[in-house]
Amino acid sequence: MPDVGEGLTEAEILKWYVQPGDTVTDGQVVCEVETAKAAVELPIPFDGTVHALLFEEGTTVDVGQVIISVQTGEAQAPEAAAAAVAPAPAAAPVAAEAAEEPAAAARQPVLVGYGVSQASTKRRPRKAAPAAQNGSAAAALPAVPAQPEAAPAAPAGLNGNGHAAGERPLAKPPVRKLAKDLGIDLAAVVPTGEGGVVTREDVHAAAAAAITPQTAVSAPAPAVSAAAVPVPAQAEAPAAGDARETRVPVKGVRKVTAQAMVNSAFTAPHVTEFITFDVTRTMKLVQELKEDPDLAGLRINPLLLIAKAVLVAIRRNPDVNASWDEAAQEIVLKHYVNLGIAAATPRGLIVPNIKDAHAKTLGELSTALSELVATARDGKTSPADMQNGTITITNVGVFGVDTGTPILNPGESAILAVGAIKLQPWVHKGKVKPRHVTTLALSFDHRLIDGELGSKFLADIAAVLEHPRRLVTWA
């Protein structure tokens, strides 16, 4: 599993595109994985034949673990022939010291813009019996069982948990962090990993045993906690029709979104203001632009003009486009606008942004919006597309909702909720007439934007949409 950056330590395998026996070539996409940021397709950096897929779809895997083995026909080079999507510790310690420097020098990034560190690393040898060698490079990779077997009795020189007396338990950094977060002493955990390594499942099992000690007395504790077993999407539905509850694991994009929203809600002091107004003229302009030959082939809709109105209002009120630097206790004014568009996807809500939206023409903005939405729906939004946003628009009106009180995307100054545009009775030129009416709700960080500035900003957005000629006169 490659390091895709952003400080992420694990990813879920969504789909395999190859099976054992398939022939693969350098650069061929072999699987799709989902991190806490986005879904990413992983290419294989070797030519050969797939020997084994070491993890099933729906499994969450730590960065650095081998997920696929490929027979390349180069039996003399175990590190190259036992090809994995990302380098991982060898199963057997044989030749570890001899091949350490060449293997480190040969490590290559596997994704454009991402990849493994170029720095060489040294691992202490593990106390484990060498794996059987049969001349096949793929045979050096350990078979990964669906569920670890019960740990054997501890041999002489080991404590009751399988660790050598006085020796620090073997575990990867993400596993150590998990144990620390759960308050579990790794020295007290029974390891089931290859070479006596403590796995995530071992930590979860120890945590479950600590929470329900009475269960451990009446029956042997399972090697893997049920909470730690990845649940495929098709297994989330209850088995019986009369089940009263269904538990769905929170992971990937949905998990990081939940954490971000909690941090935002309890860090930035939110204020929300509302404005209801007539957008009949904007709706007429949308129709006229759709018929304009100069904009043929472009997607023209109310969201496009709302986005343009936001950019015009930011130009008139530049202080709203800022962020709060907690460490330096400074307000950082942005002289660019990375306009975020909240998008609902099957994997959860994401907020990609249009880079330098302030510098785009109406046609360029339309193209950027269309590409952003299409990429998000396909689950192909990259982590870079979701970074460094400044202000966000969320269109709740597409669901028939009039308005809401949106929570700020972390690090941004404001978020605009756009309600449904509906025909309503409205006083127009002294008479009650059916007009297209909508409600905007602006939530903003009160550390950055006071009531006066927030009100002016929201009023300017509404003024542009009520009289869209201001897109020209205020530009």
Beta-bridge partners for 432: 427
User: Are 310 and 430 within one domain?
Assistant: yes
Give the residue ranges of DSSP H helices in 6-99: 78-81
CA distance 224 to 329: 46
User: Are 410 and 449 within one domain?
Assistant: yes
Comparing 1 with 227, the larger pLDDT belongs to: 1
Q: Report whether pLDDT(356) > 70.
A: yes
The reported pTM is 0.56
Identify the band that residue 241 occupies on the pLDDT scale cut at 50, 70 and 90: low
Average pLDDT over residues 206-230: 44
- Domain with residue 194: its CATH number is 4.10.320.10
Model pLDDT, residue 37 = 61
Q: Which two tokens stand for residue 115?
A: 């990849």
User: Are 229 and 262 within one domain?
Assistant: no
* Number of independent structural domains in the chain: 3
Range of the domain at 222: 170-233
379 sits in the region (left: phi over 0; alpha: psi -120 to 50; else beta) called: left
pLDDT tens figures, 50-83:
988 988 888 888 888 888 988 887 543 444 434 4
DSSP code at position 301: -
Closest among 197, 192, 189 to 151, alpha carbons compared? 192
CA distance 95 to 475: 68
User: Are 179 and 305 within one domain?
Assistant: no
For residue 160, being part of any structural domain is answered with no
Strands 68-71 and 23-24: unpaired
For residue 14, being part of any structural domain is answered with yes
pLDDT tens figures, 161-189:
555 545 677 877 777 777 777 778 888 88
pLDDT tens figures, 282-311:
999 999 999 999 999 999 999 999 999 999
User: Are 229 and 260 within one domain?
Assistant: no
Averaged pLDDT score across all residues of the chain: 76
Strands 353-354 and 339-341: antiparallel
pLDDT tens figures, 439-458:
999 999 999 999 999 999 99
User: Are 325 and 218 within one domain?
Assistant: no
User: Are 116 and 29 within one domain?
Assistant: yes
Average pLDDT over residues 118-128: 45
Average pLDDT over residues 221-232: 36
- Domain with residue 56: its CATH number is 2.40.50.100
Identify the band that residue 139 occupies on the pLDDT scale cut at 50, 70 and 90: very low
CA distance 351 to 385: 8
183 sits in the region (left: phi over 0; alpha: psi -120 to 50; else beta) called: left
Q: Report whether pLDDT(199) > 90.
A: no
Active site residues: 446
CA distance 50 to 70: 4
Q: Which two tokens stand for residue 186?
A: 């790794």
Identify the band that residue 266 occupies on the pLDDT scale cut at 50, 70 and 90: confident
Q: Report whether pLDDT(472) > 50.
A: yes
User: Are 460 and 400 within one domain?
Assistant: yes
Model pLDDT, residue 419 = 96
